[in-house]
Amino acid sequence: MRRDLATAAVLAALAALGGMNLSANLSAAEKEKEARDEQGFKPIFDGKTLKGWHVSSKTGHGTGGRWVVENGAITGSQDKPGNGGIVITDAQFGNFEDVLEMNNDFGPDSGLFLRSTENGKAYQALIDYHSDGNLMGVYGEGFPKPMVDRNFRFTDKPSEIKPMPSGFPLPVPPEKWPDFWKHGRWNELRARIVGNPPKITTWINGVKFMEWEDKEKQHPDKGGIAVQVHGGGYPGGVDLTRLFVRYRKIRVKVLD
């Protein structure tokens, strides 16, 4: 403990004396790490248009919902009460890792679809950012057999979570969640899918949150990458035409 206190004192003194130089060094180190982590990733969203994407009207969530590009982000909502859908890449992907930044309102039910068909059948990394929802659990969207694994759920506040039984234990203690997850700011979500039956791994802000393997092949080897606005209503009569999902810096790494 004394050594920790002494180290903290030295760092504080260096920060006071070195100020901007120390900050610059940390920034350079962070940039170097980011460059290593991003090696092999290619953007699939240009930040300005929906080029390379299209809205599907074939899912069970409605005719597609509303999808536009605002402030450098794909922004989605129900276009009329109850009407949602997905926006999906034109390109097909097999084994890949996808990363994006998310800044959704607390309320809409969304998701990151992996190997999605045009009618929205996919392995889904959950983005259920609402009461009783979850982030980065795994769900079988449109699968005949129920399939879901999640290790926490939200209370009625985005700053509070409750652990849930799971094959992959919750990696962040609930009391640490408010420091780990920044509501109203951009947070990073990441998902990887390989093989078929697939192994799916997900991360939130660089921390692994789920590792799950299917036991049988029940979906095609390739499909699109999609994000969703769930159709239907919401408990309490919340107007989902006035709440939005937002995704930016969407990148993919194709894996062997």
The first and second tokens of residue 46, run together, are: 């240009």
> Which pTM value belongs to this model?
0.85
Distance CA 104, CA 75 (A): 9
Domain boundaries defined on the chain: 2-34, 42-254
Distance CA 135, CA 121 (A): 19
pLDDT band per the 50, 70, 90 thresholds, residue 240: confident
Distance CA 8, CA 2 (A): 10
At residue 169, the pLDDT reads 97
The first and second tokens of residue 112, run together, are: 């990151």
Q: Could you report the per-residue pLDDT of 122-178, keeping only the tens digit for each?
A: 999 999 999 999 999 999 999 998 899 999 999 999 999 999 999 999 999 999 999
Under CATH, domain 42-254 is a member of which superfamily? Exo-inulinase; domain 1 (2.60.120.560)
Distance CA 158, CA 164 (A): 16
Burial class (CB in 10 A: 0-12, 13-18, 19+), 1: exposed
